[in-house]
Amino acid sequence: MAELSFKVIVIGPAAVGKSSLIRRFVDDKFTLAYKFTIGVDFSTKIIEYRSEKKARVTIWDIGGQDRFKILRRNFYEGTHGALVVFDLSRAQTFSKMKEWISDMNQLLEEKVPLVILGNKIDLIPEIGEVIDKEEPKLFADKIDSTYIETSAKSGDNVQEAFVELTKKIVKNTFNE
Ligand code: GDP
Ligand code: MG
């Protein structure tokens, strides 16, 4: 059978770690230097979502500053699924992240599978919990999504997050 091929997008407020999660996943690298994403970036990776089952996934990264721009339409068009990211060390990014989901649902004709990521879990031992863990879990359940806590810095759960989204897409869109 031909290899599956699809598009995923990574969305959420500025500086939550979208580009870092992609970099960790694609190149297994991380840097603390903040490099603003300008416009849109792409990368491709083959994901083995089950043993011997592979999908070619193109990952689109958006600059946070583009939330209100026309560019968004091309960005969202044809996407098969989304990773929606907030920052566990900044509470306001959780509510902002919900706005990103509403925006996306307005632009897309059909709903696509989502995985919600609470990123920067590595900071929590230092600063203490900022967001009650139950909240993102309940929210994810409500919208039929999955909630995963990640760290682009340590790599915790990053692979798992992309695999989980891939599995959802394969199930929902390709009926496999
Ligand atoms: P984006 O605007 O959502 O693409 O965010 P970036 O990936 O550019 O990351 C913003 C800042 O957060 C950068 O300084 C990153 O080094 C830092 N960062 C990203 N992910 C993590 C993480 O998991 N843990 C920590 N401690 N810092 C992170
Ligand atoms: Mg970025």
What is d(CA 97, CA 92) in angstroms, rounded to the nearest whole number? Answer: 9
CATH of domain 4-174: 3.40.50.300
pLDDT per residue as tens digits for the range 125-176: 999 999 998 999 999 999 999 999 999 999 999 999 999 999 999 998 887 7
Ligand 1 surroundings by CB, under 6 angstroms: 14-20, 31-32, 34-35, 37, 64, 119-120, 122-123, 151-153
Q: What tokens does 145 get?
A: 């999504």
CA–centroid distance for 128 within its chain: 24
Give the number of whichever ligand sits closest to the CA of residue 41: 2
Residue 13 burial by Cβ neighbours in a 10 Å radius (0-12, 13-18, 19+)? buried
148-174: b or e for each residue (b if 16 or more CB lie within 10 Å)?
A: bbbbbbebbbbeebbbbbbbbbbeeee
Q: Give me the amino acid identity at 45.
A: K
pLDDT of residue 63: 77
Nearest CA to 156 out of 119, 116, 126 is that of 119
Q: What tokens does 99 get?
A: 């706005």
pLDDT of residue 115: 98
Q: Mutation test of ligand 1: which of 10, 20, 34 has the most ligand atoms closer than 8 Å to its C-beta?
A: 20
pLDDT per residue as tens digits for the range 20-37: 999 999 999 898 877 777
Q: What tokens does 51 get?
A: 């043993």
pLDDT per residue as tens digits for the range 51-107: 999 999 999 998 766 555 666 778 899 999 999 999 999 999 999 999 999 989 988
Is the pLDDT score of 39 beyond 60?
yes
Nearest CA to 66 out of 6, 115, 113, 18 is that of 18
What's phi and psi for 118, nearest 5 deg?
Answer: -90, 105
- Give residue limits of the domains in the chain: 4-174
18 Cα–ligand 1 center, Å: 7
